[in-house]
Chain A
Amino acid sequence: MSSSKLTSLKPYFYLLPSLLVVFFFVGYGLYSAAKSSVAVEEGQPFYYHYQQLFQEGVFLNALAVSIWVAFISTAVSLVIGIWMTRHLVRLFKQDHWKFIAWFPMLIPHFVAAYIVFLLFAPSGWFSSVAFQSGWLENMSQFPLLVNDPYYIGVILTYIWKEIPFVILMLLPVYQEMDMRYEDVSRTLGGNGWTVFKTVEFPWVWPVSLEVFLILFVFVLGAFEVPALLGVTYPKMIPVLAYDWFYQAAWVNRPLAHAMMVFLSAVSLAAAFFILTFAQRWRSRWAMRREEA
């Protein structure tokens, strides 16, 4: 083999270990999960468990509450994260503030869940403060914000944990942005919102889509927080899947597999559409800038 050919193979060689890990776990893991989800008894169609799944009210409610939690917590973190980044970047010349904003990233999700419990539970700190201020006379008057059917506590936990992630991803975007366009917009009489819409949005939009995707699929598939701050009914999908997976005699294991395979398919489809869209947007804007 010639040395040039060897050189051209080098990157693949460097990438091999990572790819092996991904193929072994993701490829094989997903394959086995799919196989277990279509393992049916004689006379049943291969999609039997999927059919069962969609007739199951427990599953449909879990799906609804999972989408609700994932959408609200992702959207709120994204909006607050962008808002904070654009103000902090303009306000401070140096970016030492980022270490404060990134601090929650050092805290595991389940500890963040405990912090939310500590602050927002009926026996929590805010409730105590409310009592001292005379706003309530006993604990039961405090609104139910943890282990509540709307998953407010779970949403608060995710928002606190994900705002730093949004800032982490958007900070480089803002630091590389050409702020002279802001002067143009301001001189032409644009206010803060106009500046955001015309100057920052084209840069921020594709990254925001990507961040939205990562956070949305993460919240959809994560077990740790809803296991602590959720309720027995409705459960979020990962908690329900874990329950079914370990239920007596493994009778519900195929259903658990079917549910998680379905969730994986939804996540992958979302990823495909969002990333393709972000890519198109980027290249369209790159072209416009060159024309100008």
Chain B
Amino acid sequence: MIFNRKKAAQAVWFTGCILLFVAPVVIMFIKSVSFGWSWPEWRPDQFSLRAWEVMFRDPALSRSLYVTVAVGVSVVLINFLIAVPSAYALSRFSFKGKGVVEALLMMPILIPVLAIAMGMHLTMIRLGLTDRITGVILIHLLPTLPYAVRVLKAGFDRLSFDWEEQSAVLGAGRWTTFWTVVVPLIIPSLRSTAVLVFVISLSQYVLTAIIGGGKVLTLPMIYYPYFNSADEAVVAGFSVLFALLPIAFLIVWEAVIKGYLFVIRKP
């Protein structure tokens, strides 16, 4: 009896979670492949890939797809480059001023990025970083870095120091230990960081608009004017594209990691 009640509760909660978190996205997807679905029909009666064809025939979209991925991947790589050492230091060393450093690294998520982007605007113009992809990549570090450091630090915290010691005892150098012991063990945190950073970069409109000056056209730049367009199926398709990109990114990421592990496992 009690067992059954628990089963029922599990089913209710599971369904509830699906309805709340996943179903809205499914409706959006259905909208993008529907044909002439409008009020007051609660479900479409015709399906078509027309919206997707319209989208991909637009050369502006494919160009900005490329720009978006280039920005996102660069932001992820730069984050790794600077967040991994920082997270390692915060997790493995105790040193003077650690609390202050941690607070400083939290700053970009405590202060509105819009204030910073507006303040940086003239300086970035003077440095020649506006209106180009470099400036946009740099400014995207701002909302991503604090999360990268946080997630990676938690990853290092969970990783016992013993593994590194054992590797050292067995005569591996520091560099070898890092690439063959620490990196493989920290892969789950690297994955979370990569996806989180990619999604945050994908979600930036106002930073890209101010620093990119309307010249760096990432997908959000062309999404906003689309939002109130009459062709609802196309807007829905465009929105689905944003959900597909992180998934595609994750698949490529997994392939790269498999390749990496294959290479380092070779004697």
Contacts of B220 in A (CB 8 A): 108, 110, 224
Contact A257 B39 (CB under 8 A): no
Interface-facing stretch out of A41-49, A111-119, A197-205, A284-292: A111-119
A32 near B21 with CB under 8 A, answer no
B83–A25 touching, CB < 8 Å:
no
In the complex, which residues of chain B have a beta carbon less than 8 angstroms from the beta carbon of A261?
Answer: 115
In the complex, the answer to whether A119 meets B206 with C-beta atoms within 8 Å is no
- Give the interface SS of chain A, mostly helix, strand, loop or mixed: helix
Decide: A257 near B31, CB < 8 A? Known: A30-B111, A127-B40, A267-B110: no
Which residues of A sit under 8 angstroms from B83, Cβ to Cβ?
18
A224-275 at interface with B (beta carbon < 8 Å) = 224, 227-228, 238, 241-242, 245, 256-257, 260-261, 263-264, 267-268, 271, 275
A106-B17 in contact (CB<8A): no
A-contacting residues, B3-55, CB 8 Å: 6, 9-10, 13-14, 17-18, 20-22, 24-25, 27-28, 31, 38-42
> CB within 8 A of B115: which of A29, A110, A111, A114?
A29
Residues of B within 8 A of A125 (CB): 27, 42
Contact A32 B41 (CB under 8 A): no
Asked whether, in the complex, the Cβ of B195 is within 8 Å of the Cβ of A106, the reply is yes
Give every chain B residue within 8 A of A282 (Cβ-Cβ): none
Give CA–CA (A21, B101) in the complex, Å.
Answer: 13
Asked if B227 contacts A114 (CB within 8 A), the reply is: yes
Which one of A26, A107, A114 contacts B107 once the chains associate, using CB atoms below 8 Å?
Answer: A26
Q: Which of A11, A100, A257, A275 contacts B89 (CB 8 A)?
A: A11
The CB with the most chain B CB atoms within 10 A, among A14, A34, A111, A118, is that of: A111
* Closest Cβ–Cβ distance, residue B119 to chain A (whole Å): 3
Taking the closest CB of chain B, its distance from the CB of A34, in whole angstroms, is 8
Could you tell me if A15 and B120 are in contact, using CB atoms closer than 8 angstroms?
no
A108–B245 Cα distance when bound, in Å, is 11
Residues of A within 8 A of B242 (CB): 107-108, 111
B residues within 8 A CB of A256? 118
In the complex, A6 has a CB within 8 A of chain B:
no
Given contacts A17-B86, A108-B220, A118-B236, contact A29 B28 (CB under 8 A): no
Q: Mark B202-243, 1 if CB is under 8 A from A, else 0.
A: 110110001000000000100110010000000110010011
**Chain A residues positioned under 8 Å from B113 (CB to CB):** 221
B117 and A15 contact, CB distance less than 8 A: no
Decide if B168 is an interface residue (CB 8 Å cutoff). Answer: no
Q: Bound complex: CA of A106 vs CA of B220, how far in Å?
A: 15
Bound Cα distance from A20 to B90, whole angstroms: 16
Interface pair B224/A228, CB less than 8 Å apart:
yes
Q: Could you say which residues of chain A place their CB within 8 Å of the CB of B71?
A: none
Chain B interfacial residues counted at CB < 8 A: 76
Shortest beta-carbon distance from A251 to chain B in Å: 15
B113-127 contact mask (Cβ, 8 Å, vs A): 1 or 0: 111111110110000
**Residues of A at under 8 Å CB distance from B?**
8, 10-12, 14-15, 17-19, 21-22, 25-26, 28-34, 36, 84, 87-88, 91-92, 97, 100-101, 103-111, 114-115, 118-119, 123-125, 127-129, 131-132, 139, 160, 163-164, 213-214, 217-218, 220-224, 227-228, 238, 241-242, 245, 256-257, 260-261, 263-264, 267-268, 271, 275
B residues apposed to A, CB below 8 Å: 6, 9-10, 13-14, 17-18, 20-22, 24-25, 27-28, 31, 38-42, 81-83, 85-86, 88-90, 92-93, 95, 101, 103-120, 122-123, 139, 141-142, 145, 149, 195-196, 199, 202-203, 205-206, 210, 220, 223-224, 227, 235-236, 239, 242-243, 246-247
Instruction: Provide a sorted-by-A list of 22 A–B residue pairs whose CB atoms are within 8 angstroms.
Output: A12-B95, A15-B86, A18-B83, A21-B142, A26-B142, A32-B123, A33-B115, A33-B116, A36-B122, A100-B18, A106-B247, A107-B25, A115-B28, A131-B39, A213-B110, A218-B109, A227-B224, A238-B112, A241-B114, A260-B112, A260-B119, A267-B110
